[in-house]
Amino acid sequence: MPLLLPSHFFLLPCKTFSYFCLVKNHSAFITNLLLAGLLLFSIQGIASDGKTPKPISRLTFPTTSDFAFHNDSIHHINFRYADKKRGFKPFIAPSLLVAGGTILHFSDWKYDINEWSREHFNYTGHLDDYLRFAPIAAVYSLNALGIQGKNNIGNQTAILGKSMVLTTLITKSLKSILDVERPTGQTQSMPSGHTAIVFAAAQWMHREYGETNPWYSIGAYTCAATVGIMRISKGKHWASDVLVGAGVGMISTELIYFTHQFKWDREHLNNLDIFPFKTGHQKGLALVYTF
């Protein structure tokens, strides 16, 4: 059925399950809230000692502690990543790339590097347009071959999608703000978009498969560096643009891993039920999660 914007929303947490409704009718909301209070009264009383329900004096709103999982839960659910304590170490290398590219931008060396690159390579093809997606194709190929990464394919895809969006937003914004002239005379040179995308993908592959075999990381970064060199030798970017783009891509992926803290695997989804309901003038959606 079509999804209607709700007029009211309430969340009722308890020991056994969590329940919420999206209610369209105002008068039905009062009835629903009273029923929710009775449900909370009975469940919390039984959960307290398993024998006699204990009345509660008021209906309290849930806090973060209400959603904590304890050792006596039926299932021990670990929503957070095992590497959540990595801290800011993964941001050091890409930050140095951004800093180095910024310094090089104000140096005459960037002209010498581009001139040397054009003389020795003089690349004019379009391989760089496709090679930037090679790490992405590699990760999905490994999944197809049954070689598992750190996360399942669902979380891998979610992380990649958010990383690509963030990388594109940062890159486009910096291009418009800085408006650096390209070697060809065009504008919006810094940072390199191709380089940012491929390094974001390479960092993603490194995080998923680097611990399995370091050669996966070496291959991903080699591919990314090759794209950057191609952008310079084609005269599309300065070396400084490529360095900043590489740093932006890596930082974007690390930010996504840093914030992507909730994992939903098959076990969790099997415990989740979502269904529509209609009672008189009351319509909405109900969600039940069994711990």
Regarding whether 242 and 103 lie in a shared domain, the answer is yes
Q: In terms of C-beta distances under 8 Å and separation of at least 24 residues, what long-range contacts does 26-34 make, across chains too?
A: 27/281, 28/279, 28/280, 28/281, 28/282, 31/282, 32/282
Residue 3 lies in a domain: no
Regarding whether 156 and 33 lie in a shared domain, the answer is no
Structure tokens at 114: 């581009």
Note the pLDDT of residue 41.
40
Residue 133 lies in a domain: yes
Number of domains in the chain: 2
- Domain span holding position 247: 86-259
Regarding whether 241 and 157 lie in a shared domain, the answer is yes
Count of other CB atoms within 10 angstroms of residue 162: 17
Regarding whether 62 and 27 lie in a shared domain, the answer is yes
Regarding whether 276 and 224 lie in a shared domain, the answer is no
Note the pLDDT of residue 22.
42
Regarding whether 237 and 111 lie in a shared domain, the answer is yes
Note the pLDDT of residue 87.
72
By the 10 Å C-beta count (0-12 exposed, 13-18 middle, 19+ buried), 148 is classed as: middle
Regarding whether 159 and 241 lie in a shared domain, the answer is yes
Kindly list the averaged pLDDT for each block of 10 residues, start to end, along the chain of length 291: 39 39 45 45 41 43 42 37 65 96 96 90 91 97 95 92 97 97 94 98 97 96 97 95 98 93 57 68 70 63
Regarding whether 52 and 182 lie in a shared domain, the answer is no
Regarding whether 252 and 113 lie in a shared domain, the answer is yes
Q: Kindly state the DSSP code that residue 79 receives in the 8-state scheme.
A: -
Residue 138 lies in a domain: yes
Regarding whether 196 and 148 lie in a shared domain, the answer is yes
Residue 99 lies in a domain: yes
Regarding whether 189 and 125 lie in a shared domain, the answer is yes
Note the pLDDT of residue 254.
95
